[in-house]
């Protein structure tokens, strides 16, 4: 089986490396153009490109796959190369495939949700944020829609109460790598028995809209389950925020606090080990375990308290003086 692979971040690189490990014939890869990143804004190669270079696989980095525009010649070359492969595997590529590709070639997408729930850009974040009990990997035969193609295979995993997006991402990356190998090993049978997403009740369809930095600002009036889900969903990006503090890790507990205590007010520092602040209008508190302020490294609360004066009665929702 001759394979082309399209992907960009670590999630995709994990799958590419697993395909290589299982001796699949990867003819070439597509990945996003190198982009400036970091403090020096130096151009960085994507994890997929790094994996391809390590394994001497041909690399193409078009800015678009449309047969028009500034990369039309390269896109045309890639279309011709696709005529020579059996399947194009797509994993977090970050670029829409035009109809000229998905309608003409067998394109399989590795999507990090149980479709049709959480179609779109941020399925891992949204599953945790919504308090879902499970998620998984869907292997989908792509069409022109946004994650609307026929489903060939689903591999599920539970979402635990300690899962962050970072933790769940890594577990799903492993699951995705396993799932595509399983799919390829039984491809003809799975295509024959594919399930059209049109058979699902429309109430089961949801969209995982891209995460914005503005969402990171926690609303401390909300129920503790919602606050907890948001803290875990926004780890590592964009990181939940209270005032000028980024909250990396916390435990939330119900409580009956004094009615005069405000949301965000420090109620205890646990002898310099953690920081407890009021939330949910006095019905709960957040015990902050790990935090960060702008321009500084993330720290355990105990380490943070050694260098910062935070005392009972301070309010973390207010600007740092």
* 3-class DSSP string for 67-105: CCCCCHHHHHHHHHHHCCCCEEEEECCCCCCCHHHHCCC
17 within domain boundaries? yes
316 within domain boundaries? no
Confidence of residue 67 (pLDDT cuts 50, 70, 90): confident
32 within domain boundaries? yes
Q: Which structural domain range is residue 147 located in?
A: 2-208
**At which of 186, 208, 230 does a domain end?**
208
Task: Give yes or no for residue 321 having a pLDDT over 70.
Answer: no
Task: Give yes or no for residue 52 having a pLDDT over 80.
Answer: yes
Q: Which two tokens stand for residue 147?
A: 């994650």
Q: Is 179 found in the same domain as 278?
A: no
Average pLDDT of the chain, as a whole number = 95
Q: What is the CATH number of the domain that holds 297?
A: 3.10.25.10
313 within domain boundaries? no
Q: What is the CATH number of the domain that holds 137?
A: 3.40.50.170
314 within domain boundaries? no
**At which of 208, 229, 262 does a domain end?**
208
- Spatial contact of 88 and 120, defined as CB atoms under 8 Å apart: no
Task: Give yes or no for residue 320 having a pLDDT over 70.
Answer: no
Instruction: Give the residue, 203 or 288, on which the prediction is more confident.
Output: 288
Task: Give yes or no for residue 25 having a pLDDT over 60.
Answer: yes
φ, ψ for residue 186, nearest 5 deg: -135, 35
pTM (two decimals) = 0.94
321 within domain boundaries? no
- pLDDT, one tens digit per residue, over 129-175 is 999 999 999 999 999 999 999 999 999 999 999 999 999 999 999 99
d(CA 248, CA 226): 16
Closest CA to 8 of 63, 39, 62, 46: 46
pLDDT-wise least confident of 62-71, 176-185, 276-285, 295-304: 62-71
242 within domain boundaries? yes
């Amino acid at each position: 089986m001759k394979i082309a692979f399209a992907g960009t971040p670590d999630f995709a690189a994990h799958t590419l490396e697993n395909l290589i490990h299982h001796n699949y014939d990867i003819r070439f890869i597509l990945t996003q153009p190198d982009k400036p990143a970091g403090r020096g804004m130096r151009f960085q190669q994507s994890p997929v490109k790094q994996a391809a270079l390590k394994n001497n696989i041909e690399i193409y980095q078009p800015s678009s796959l449309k047969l028009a525009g500034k990369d039309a010649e390269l896109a045309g070359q890639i279309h011709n190369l696709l005529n020579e492969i059996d399947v194009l595997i797509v994993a977090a590529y970050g670029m829409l495939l035009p109809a000229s590709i998905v309608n003409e070639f067998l394109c399989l997408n590795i999507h990090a949700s149980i479709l049709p729930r959480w179609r779109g850009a941020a399925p891992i974040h949204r599953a945790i944020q919504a308090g879902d009990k499970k998620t998984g990997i869907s292997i989908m035969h792509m069409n022109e829609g946004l994650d609307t193609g026929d489903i060939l295979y689903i591999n599920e995993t539970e979402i635990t109460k300690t899962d962050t997006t970072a933790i769940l991402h890594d577990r799903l990356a492993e699951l995705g790598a396993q799932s595509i190998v399983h799919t390829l090993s039984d491809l003809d049978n799975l295509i024959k028995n594919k399930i059209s997403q049109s058979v699902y009740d429309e109430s089961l369809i949801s969209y995982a809209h891209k995460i914005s930095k503005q969402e990171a600002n926690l609303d401390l009036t909300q129920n503790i389950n919602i606050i907890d889900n948001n803290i875990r969903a926004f780890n590592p990006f964009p990181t939940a925020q209270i005032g000028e503090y980024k909250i990396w890790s916390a435990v939330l507990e119900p409580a009956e606090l004094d009615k005069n205590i405000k949301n965000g007010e420090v109620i205890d520092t646990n002898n310099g080990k953690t920081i407890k602040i009021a939330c949910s209008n006095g019905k709960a508190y957040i015990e902050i375990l790990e935090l960060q302020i702008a321009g500084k490294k993330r720290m355990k609360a105990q380490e943070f308290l050694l260098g910062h004066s935070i005392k009972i009665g301070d309010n973390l929702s207010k600007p740092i003086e």
